[in-house]
């Protein structure tokens, strides 16, 4: 039986890059998003033409019933969940100074980015523990959370986003600690400035900053750079480093003089 990987928020951008990488490694991948199945058919057709094993399950990570339905579907249909990648995330609809941030925006961003990640970790962890007890052949489950360099970098015009990503860092530490005794490693990948359709609106701004030396590697990141970190964790190379943060940021995290 194929190994099963669930990648939330994977219709485009970083999530899609991670999904493709895992599918190319032989996983049956489950794409999630908030769009209808019909609107995703073109994406799925393209991936299947590349002989990648993928299906789409609609799931709004901020909604409790959706989270339970997703994991219940996977457990009942496949009986295993090898990799959960918590990638689903949203930015504020409108950037506002922290002096003006609204409760509505705060709740909306944290419900998806932080609350969704926490409870998907919880549901998946309990399912993985059940599956481990069943002695499934070649079963070594792992959880990988996608945060951001915003987890430690202040952006005063989108404070709710930064807080949500900082929270994911603690979610990762908590579950890595709790699940170590169960044999389930948990990791965090922190993307830096990644060139996707979501960042095209600030491309010119960051191009200038990169030219001025913001990124030691001197270039934008790409979804494949994030996917490579996920693959390293998924393949088991880092299992004894549970709780580890993988910075996919071209060296941005390095403190420099």
Give the residue numbers annotated as catalytic, written as ranges.
161
User: What would the two tokens of residue 220 be?
Assistant: 């934008």
Rounded to the nearest angstrom, the gap between the alpha carbon of residue 159 and the centroid of all alpha carbons in its chain is 20
Cα 41 from Cα 47, distance rounded (Å): 10
**Paired sense of beta strands 83-86 and 245-248, if any:** unpaired
Question: Rounded distance, CA 229 to CA 98, Å?
Answer: 32
Short-list 15, 8, 133, CA closest to 79: 133
- Residue 58 in contact with residue 9, Cβ under 8 Å? no
| Euclidean distance between CA atoms 105 and 25, whole angstroms | 38
Q: CA 14 to CA 128: how far, in whole Å?
A: 25
Q: What are the backbone angles phi and psi of residue 17, rounded to the nearest 5°? A: -60, -40
DSSP state of 155: -
- Would you give the DSSP letter of residue 213? T
Give which of 248, 251, 246 is closest to 213, Cα–Cα.
251
Contact in structure between 117 and 171 (CB atoms under 8 Å):
yes
Q: Which two tokens stand for residue 162?
A: 């930064």
Q: What is the rounded distance in angstroms from the CA atom of residue 118 to the CA atom of residue 167?
A: 9
């Amino acid at each position: 039986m194929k190994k099963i990987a669930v990648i939330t928020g994977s219709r485009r951008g970083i999530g899609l890059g991670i999904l493709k990488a895992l599918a190319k490694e032989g996983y049956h991948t489950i794409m999630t998003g908030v769009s209808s199945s019909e609107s995703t058919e073109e994406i799925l057709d393209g991936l299947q033409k590349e002989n990648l094993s993928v299906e789409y399950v609609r799931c709004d990570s901020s909604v409790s019933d959706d989270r339970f339905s997703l994991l219940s579907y996977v457990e009942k249909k496949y009986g295993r969940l090898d990799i959960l990648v918590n990638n689903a995330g949203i930015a504020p609809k409108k950037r506002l100074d922290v002096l003006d941030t609204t409760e509505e925006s705060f709740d909306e961003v944290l419900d998806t980015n932080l609350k969704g990640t926490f409870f998907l970790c919880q549901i998946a962890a309990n399912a993985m523990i059940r599956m481990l007890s069943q002695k499934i052949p070649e079963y070594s489950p792992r959880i990988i959370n996608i945060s951001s360099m915003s987890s430690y970098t202040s952006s005063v015009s989108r404070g709710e986003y930064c807080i949500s990503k900082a929270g994911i860092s603690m979610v990762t530490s908590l579950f890595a600690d709790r699940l170590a005794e169960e044999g389930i490693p948990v990791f965090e990948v922190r993307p830096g400035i990644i060139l996707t359709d979501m960042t095209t609106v600030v491309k010119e701004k960051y191009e200038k900053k990169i030219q001025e030396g913001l990124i030691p590697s001197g270039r934008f990141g790409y979804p494949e750079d994030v996917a490579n970190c996920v693959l390293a964790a998924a393949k088991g190379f880092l299992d004894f480093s549970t709780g580890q943060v993988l910075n996919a940021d071209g060296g941005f995290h390095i403190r420099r003089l």
